[in-house]
Structure 1
Amino acid sequence: MSFRNEKILPDEYCHIYNRGNGKSKIFLDKEDYDRFIKILFICNSKNKFVFRESIIKSKINAWDFERGNRLVDIGAWVLMPNHFHILLISSSHRQGLWQKDLNPISIFMQKVSTAYAMYFNKKYNRTGSLFEGKFKLKNIHKENYLEYLFSYIHLNPIKLIQKDWKENGIKNKDKALEYLNKFKYSSYLDYKNPNRTESKILNKEFFPESFDNINNKELINIFTSYV
């Protein structure tokens, strides 16, 4: 999937992507995945925070953190060992956030990237850039592409059991879907179980109602019919 630097505009769906510097892994264990997921939730706020001060020292559950007004609305996400994808939108009604050279999407991604890089570098005693430059962004203008992207993001983990699934198709669909049903590090399970704690990251009202009705096999059909 190709990316290019595009102008960030309000009221447009965006596909956000970034990966580890030099394609290196950015998630090495369960704690890393869990921290990034909590950061996705907490950083989606106009308020400033320091994870250690606001969560750890305060001894509160990260999912109970009072965020206030959100910066963006997230419809899908997935974490892979060396990269991540996020589908989001930021509406023009967020007054005071859309200004020249300043927009809520960039603010959100800067907060997420900085918070996670600080955690990762400290934990693994490393220095330097964790990510491969600034996040990549692609604007989405067509609804059929939006559905394709929703499917693409949620099918991404299949690469962990079949590396060539995008190029050559899914060899064993039942096995692939069984794997997705066990993979915790995406919003896939939040559409199957809206009561999952991580579903707090999503704000579905800003996305097509069809997202809630897409079943397992339809994800594959939507992806294959588009490519």
Structure 2
Amino acid sequence: MDIRGTQLHPDMIFHIFNRGINGAKVFFEEKNYHYFLKQYIRYVHPFVHTYAYCLMGNHFHLLIRIRSEDHIRSVVKNNKEKEAYWHISNAFSSFLQSYTRAMNIMYNRTGPLFESPFKRIAVSKEVYFSRLLIYIHFNPEKHGIIADYRKYPYSSSHAYCEMEKNTKLNKAEVFAWFGGNKGFFDFHRVNLENLKKINENLFLE
């Protein structure tokens, strides 16, 4: 499975993930998590639908769908002759570079922060999408950071639990995928124990 060279084509769903170089931290204090999301919204959100995310101390996970090629063309201002996947890859690269620059200035460090290139897996099977979304939400509990993944502040799980919360997540499409709100929460509850037993290499964290 090629997790580094797969092109980010329009209308495809992807698991995007990456970690700090040699597993080093990429989030050093609370404000870093918020800045990371701010830069994600600035650079990447115009090109994708976001279904789930989780930011850990030394890595992150995103579950996204690339928007249509027509939409991508309507967003870009320069290099319109480039293929759509080039603009998506460029948006992610600009996003991660902007975050790295800010961390280097803030913490008086130099050099890259993340492993390169960032990793991605195309998601084509419904069951993989469903379990992956739960896996991303469950990550903080799996790593022993918190006793209840639903209370972890730096993932999308709380946004789904707080129904009225204003968010950039495409919650409506996710709930529809599970047949409604009840189906979403029932699937989490029923499959969580099984997910704990699944070989984590399945999700290539």
After superposition, residues 122-133 of structure 1 pair within 5 angstroms as 122-133=105-116
Quote the offset at 1:181 in angstroms.
2.7
Distance 1:4 1:119, change over 3 A: closer
Per-residue Cα deviation, 1:57-93 (whole angstroms, up to 9, x for no partner) = xxxxxxxxxxxxx211100000010000000011324
Spell out, residue by residue over 1:122-171, the C-alpha distance to the aligned partner (whole angstroms, 9 max, x if none).
11100101111121110011000000110110010113327xxxxxxxxx
Taking structure 1 as the reference length, what is the TM-score of the superposition? 0.72
Q: Secondary structure at the match of 1:86?
A: strand
Question: One-letter code of the match for 1:38?
Answer: K
Q: Alpha carbons of 1:141 and 1:208: their partners in 2 closer, same or farther (altered >3 Å)?
A: farther
Return the structure number with greater helix share: 2
Counterpart for residue 217 of structure 1: 189
Closer/same/farther in 2, CA of residues 208 and 8 from structure 1, 3 Å limit: farther
Deviation at 1:218, TM superposition (A): 3.3
**Corresponding position of 2:165:** 196
Q: Indicate the SS of the match to 2:71.
A: coil
% identical equivalent positions: 31
Q: Could you say which residue in structure 1 is the equivalent of 2:16?
A: 16
Aligned to 1:41: 41
Change (3 A) 1:90 1:160: same
Q: Does the CA contact (< 8 Å) of 1:25 and 1:83 recur in 2?
A: yes
Q: Where does the alignment leave 5 or more consecutive residues of structure 1 unmatched?
A: 46-69, 163-174
Matches within 5 A, 1:131-210: 131-161=114-144, 176=147, 179-197=148-166, 199-200=167-168, 202-207=169-174, 209=176, 210=178
Residues 91 and 74 of structure 1: CA distance in aligned 2, closer, same or farther (over 3 Å): same
- C-alpha distance after superposition, 1:188-207 (max 9, x if no partner): 0111113334x22x123454
Per-residue deviation at 1:221? 4.7
* Partner amino acid, structure 2, of 1:36: F
Are the counterparts in 1 of residues 10 and 84 from structure 2 also a CA contact under 8 Å?
no
Q: Distance in 1 between matches of 2:7 and 2:150?
A: 35
Give the letter aligned to residue 38 of structure 2: K
Q: Show the counterpart of 1:59.
A: none
Q: Does 1:27 align with 2:27?
A: yes
* C-alpha displacement of 1:22: 1.4
Aligned mates of 1:217, 1:7 — CA distance in 2? 34
In the alignment of these two chains, the number of paired residues is 187
Unaligned runs of 5+ in 2: 200-205
SS in 1 for 2:154: coil
Q: Secondary structure of 1:10's match?
A: coil
1:181 match: secondary structure: helix
Pairing 1:77–2:44 present: no
Amino acid in structure 2 at the alignment position of 1:214: F
Corresponding residue for residue 89 of structure 1: 65
Counterpart CA distance in 1 for 2:120 and 2:27 is 21
TM, length-normalised to structure 2: 0.79
Amino acid at match of 2:158: L
Judged with a 3 Å threshold, the aligned counterparts in structure 2 of structure 1 residues 180 and 73 are, in CA distance, closer, same or farther, namely same
